[in-house]
Amino acid sequence: MTDTPYLRVDVARLERNIEATADRARSAGVQLRPHAKTHKCAQIADRQLDAGAVGLTVATIGEAEAFVDHLPPGSADLFIAYPLWVTPAKGARLRALAARTSRLCLGVDSVDAVQCLADELTDTPVTLAVEVDSGQHRTGVLAEQAGVIASTATEFGLDVVGVFTFPGHGYGPDDAPIHAAEDEMEALSIASDKLRQSGIEPVVRSGGSTPTVEFSGSEVLTEIRPGVYPFNDAQQVELGTCDFDDVALVAVATVVHRTGTRVVVDAGSKILGADRPTWVTGFGRLLDAPTARITSLSEHHAVIDFPTASPDIPALGTEVHVVPNHVCTAVNLVDELHAVTPDGTTEQWPVMARGANS
């Protein structure tokens, strides 16, 4: 018995999810480069690469360093899918990384950032991909501007290999994923044309998120970067991207309080994360009680309301399985995942890149 709360992984479901997305990418004729920010975990990266992933996506230099330390020397094929602002200190870290990877690609989305990259990384074996805003309005340039960024980088002697986007506005109800996938394809298509007009072949045309990946096709994309799919989470269930049966990670929690149809468990925001988009129905879900809703969350309390006269209301002391809203932020709160393998044994999988924010 492990003291609650802790994060438990169902390895059979995890492996099934990894295979299913690998199969989907193969069928669609696109390469799969999973986003490792979700799991930050060697054992899961290994399974993704064994299933055919061409490499990994990461969000930070620190995550890249963790995976390079883990993978066989010189083998890591990494894409830092972020518009890095490269200071001299970060430049030194990137040069060290480049020397230890088979391929290191970096994101860029401004002429000023190109200048920093040129100052730090000329003659370093890195490639660049221009980030395009396909509708999330976070980072990335308008598709029409991609050629300017790419040609400026080329003039500075940097090696531009393509374009990428994150269709994050697909995280929404109804047809949001379909529309975001359409926006993604259009933005990458325009941006690719702009690169070609600047004499740069966009060999890499990278997109995809877990909810949009089924609508993204190989007519534009060469590569997809979903992150959440090995685990899934309550957001994905509510988006309809997966069923509860596909959820491979839960917080195991204990009921510490019950008043009528309300129970409180000992997993709060410090293990579930506090993500709560407006379109979800609560702060997470219960794996085995689909009618329950987590109506409020504190650091060490989740308040769960059940329908009146529900037969599922757990007694004090019961262990329940809470599905986090956003698994990427939940995993980043723990040092280890308790991985239950198909033969019933439990392994401790370190979250080796936990907290690698810079």
The reply on whether position 256 binds its own copies by CB under 8 A is yes
* Smallest gap from residue 189 Cβ to its own copies (A): 21
Question: Taking a C-beta distance cutoff of 8 angstroms, is the pair 357, 62 a contact?
Answer: yes
C-alpha–C-alpha distance, residues 37 and 39, integer Å: 6
* Smallest gap from residue 15 Cβ to its own copies (A): 25
Amino acid type, 285: R
The reply on whether position 299 binds its own copies by CB under 8 A is yes
Binding mask 317-336 for its own copies (x = CB under 8 A): x--------x-xx--xxxx-
CA distances from 34 to 24, 48, 177, 215, 338 (A): 13, 7, 18, 17, 21
The reply on whether position 1 binds its own copies by CB under 8 A is yes
Q: Among 255, 286, 287, 323, which residue sits at the site for its own copies (rule: CB under 8 A)?
A: 255
Tokens of 277: 């988009």
The reply on whether position 119 binds its own copies by CB under 8 A is no
How many CB atoms within 10 Å of residue 186?
14
Region of 12-20, 198-206, 253-261, 337-345 interacting with its own copies (CB under 8 A): 253-261
For residues 52 and 168, which CB has a smaller minimum distance to its own copies in the complex?
168
Residues 124-183 that bind its own copies (CB under 8 A): 137-140, 168
Region of 10-18, 108-116, 213-221, 337-345 interacting with its own copies (CB under 8 A): 108-116
* Smallest gap from residue 201 Cβ to its own copies (A): 26
Question: Taking a C-beta distance cutoff of 8 angstroms, is the pair 147, 195 a contact?
Answer: yes
Q: Containing H/E element for 149?
A: helix 146-155
The residues with which 10 forms a beta bridge, in sequence order, are 340
Cis (ω within 30 of 0) for the bond into 342? no
Tokens of 67: 């995976």
Q: Among 53, 303, 322, 337, which residue sits at the site for its own copies (rule: CB under 8 A)?
A: 303
Q: Which residue has the tokens 């329950």?
A: 292
* Smallest gap from residue 267 Cβ to its own copies (A): 8
Question: Taking a C-beta distance cutoff of 8 angstroms, is the pair 222, 205 a contact?
Answer: yes
Q: Containing H/E element for 10?
A: strand 6-10
Question: Taking a C-beta distance cutoff of 8 angstroms, is the pair 133, 141 a contact?
Answer: yes
Binding mask 56-95 for its own copies (x = CB under 8 A): ---xxx--------------------xxxx-x-xx--x--
Which residues contact its own copies (rule: CB under 8 A)?
1-6, 37, 59-61, 82-85, 87, 89-90, 93, 109-110, 112-113, 116, 137-140, 168, 254-258, 262, 264, 266-267, 269-271, 273-276, 296, 298-301, 303, 316-317, 326, 328-329, 332-335, 355, 357-358
